[in-house]
């Protein structure tokens, strides 16, 4: 069994209203050195062993988990018990 | 003319859409549950607003993976009118029938009020009953209505006259003030504002009514030619 940790982030240049709100809140808490905040998503997907695991995960991300118009994704694969 | 109003779990503007075509237009219409759908006999497909699958993952993303999507694509390919409003627009984007994506509104607020739209293209099967650059009042009701596409796509949309409606006063941060776009072929329209909520003057405005009348007029002409 594999545990896949997937990070989905907004592409550079795509406006992130949520990140902007969090940034403003951090600044109002007087973390005055906060320059920018971008909010993304983190997912854990458990997969049984299969051939071409990576290309399968790529397809999952392209088809559903991320929207390639606005988002990028990265992932790591770990052994899970 | 026979309309299919597709109902997903979480759709909530399906009955308004049904009312617009069935009661106001006086045409045949069915509320079609997304699982049991056979769309072959319908002349037009309407994707209503709402929160399909609770907007999980991204608005419209889960609905865009359901079995019925293949049939909607087929209808679109066959040239049938496909209209997606609000969540219906988001589904059309997620299934790739229209370019771009939706982001949360610039000010993160869910907004529900009338907006003035400008009819940018009145030479479509959806807008032929409007005048070019006509200003119309149509309500919006969305949290994720901030349309985004890259500059290249925006240029293509402009070059091909695919931008059908823009906001007079951009409420949500959409690029190019975009409120509604269509595919290159001109038979798939997605828009965030709700024309089905503006079909009776008694209830505020009836500027949305002509959108449905346009579809019908177009269909009648096509039908007469084919007959």
Q: What is the rounded average pLDDT of the residues B193-217?
A: 96
- Dump pLDDT digits (tens) for B46-68: 999 999 999 999 999 999 999 99
Residue B148 has its nearest CB partner, among A21, A65, A70, at: A70
Inter-chain CB proximity A14 and B103 less than 8 Å = yes
Chain A interface, mutation test: which of B104, B107, B110, B170, most A Cβ atoms within 10 Å? B104
What pTM value is reported for the model? Answer: 0.94
What ipTM describes this predicted complex? 0.85
Cβ <8 Å between A69 and B148: yes
- Output the pLDDT for position B224: 82
For B67, residues 6+ apart whose C-beta sits below 8 A from its C-beta are: B34, B35
The Cα of B160 is separated from the nearest Cα of chain A by a number of Å equal to 20
Tell me which residue in B100, B146, B173 faces A69 most closely, judged by beta carbons.
B100
Catalytic status, residue B213:
no
Order of strands, edge to edge, in the sheet holding A71-79?
Answer: A41-47, A2-10, A71-79
B196 is catalytic: yes
> Which of B58, B142, B153 is the best mutation test for A, with the most CBs of A within 10 A?
B58
| Both structure tokens of A26 | 């951090």
Look at residue B142 and tell me whether its pLDDT is greater than 80. Answer: yes
Res B225: pLDDT: 64
Check residue B48 and give left, alpha or beta (phi > 0: left; psi -120 to 50: alpha): beta
DSSP one-letter string for B10-76:
TB-SHHHHHHIIIIIS--EEEEEETTS---TT-SEEEE--B-GGGG-SSTTTTGGGSTHHHHHHHHH
**Res B177: pLDDT:** 98
Which residues of chain A neighbour B150 with C-beta distances below 8 Å?
Answer: 69
Residue B71 pLDDT exceeds 60: yes
Contacting residues of A for B106, CB less than 8 Å apart: 15, 17
B205 is an active site residue: no
In whole numbers, what is the pLDDT of chain A averaged over residues? 95
Radius of gyration for chain B, computed over Cα atoms and rounded to the nearest angstrom: 16
Mutate to test the interface with A, among B70, B90, B99, B103 (most CBs of A within 10 A): B103
The pLDDT > 90 percentage for chain B reads 94
Whether B33 has its CB under 8 Å from any CB of chain A: the answer is: no
pLDDT at B88 over 70: yes
pLDDT above 70: residue B83: yes
Chain A to chain B Cβ contacts (< 8 Å): 38
What is the biggest distance separating any 2 CA atoms in chain A, rounded to whole angstroms?
51
pLDDT for residue B227 is more than 70: no
């Amino acid at each position: 069994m594999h545990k896949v940790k997937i990070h989905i982030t907004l592409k550079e240049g795509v406006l992130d209203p949520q990140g902007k709100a969090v940034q403003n809140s951090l600044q109002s808490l007087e973390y005055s050195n906060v320059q920018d905040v971008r909010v993304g998503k983190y997912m854990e997907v458990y997969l049984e062993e299969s051939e071409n695991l990576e290309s399968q995960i790529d397809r999952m991300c392209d088809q559903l988990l991320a929207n390639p118009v606005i988002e990028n994704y990265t992932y790591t694969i770990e052994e899970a018990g | 003319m026979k309309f299919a109003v597709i109902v997903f779990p979480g759709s909530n503007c399906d009955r308004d859409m049904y009312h617009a075509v069935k009661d106001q237009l006086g045409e045949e219409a069915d509320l079609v549950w997304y699982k049991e759908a056979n769309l072959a006999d319908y002349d037009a497909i309407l994707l209503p607003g709402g929160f399909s699958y609770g907007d999980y993952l991204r608005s419209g993303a889960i609905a865009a993976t359901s079995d019925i999507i293949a049939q909607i694509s087929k209808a679109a390919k066959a040239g049938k009118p496909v209209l997606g409003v609000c969540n219906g627009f988001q589904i059309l984007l997620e299934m790739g029938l229209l370019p771009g994506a939706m982001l949360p509104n610039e000010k993160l607020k869910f907004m529900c009020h009338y907006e003035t739209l400008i009819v940018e293209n009145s030479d479509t099967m959806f807008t032929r009953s409007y005048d070019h650059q006509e200003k119309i009042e149509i309500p919006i009701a969305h949290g994720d209505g901030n349309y985004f596409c890259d500059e290249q796509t925006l240029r293509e949309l402009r070059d091909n006259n695919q931008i059908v409606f823009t906001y007079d006063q951009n409420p949500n941060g959409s690029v190019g003030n975009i409120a509604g776009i269509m595919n290159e072929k001109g038979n798939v329209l997605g828009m965030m504002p709700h024309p089905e909520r503006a079909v009776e003057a008694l209830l505020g405005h009836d500027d949305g009514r002509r959108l449905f009348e346009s579809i019908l007029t177009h269909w009648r002409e096509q039908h007469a030619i084919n007959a």
